[in-house]
Amino acid sequence: MKNIEFHPADYDGHGHLRLPFLFWLVLLLQARTWVLFVIAGASREQGTALLNLFYPDHDNFWQGLLPGIPAVLAFLLSGRRNAFPGIWHTLYALLIAAQVVLLCWQPVLWFNGSPVNGIGLTLVVMDGVALLWLLTNPRLRACFANEKE
């Protein structure tokens, strides 16, 4: 990885590079089914209606939880990333793989007969932008780089 100079405000009080704000938004995008699961669990009556709106086929809901697992792990480990550098470094590749799965997920559903709608189109665009950002943001890559490299 090239030596890139970052602004002093990009570092926390311990001298570690801060995770970019957009990273948290990408994690929310990847963990969207988990977020929906938590919201639906908080309100039984409206939760069922919400789940039926986004996941009329309940099998897709349970499958939708799988690509969100790396994002949930990243949320959990982000505060202790220096304590688990090997896991943290590997998590970057898992986040990219999960984003590729999410990007392909909606078109696969469309090809299998699901209707094309505004929510699905928006998710595909957002997933594509998120993947591009994950792959190209130098500060994010530096946050996931092994300190020994």
pLDDT in tens, 99-121: 999 999 989 989 988 888 888 89
**φ/ψ of residue 24, rounded to 5:** -65, -35
**Token digits of residue 99:** 């984003």
Neighbours of 97 (CB within 10 A): 12
| Domain residue extents for the chain | 17-144
Rounded to two decimals, the pTM is: 0.86
Check pLDDT > 70 for residue 2: no
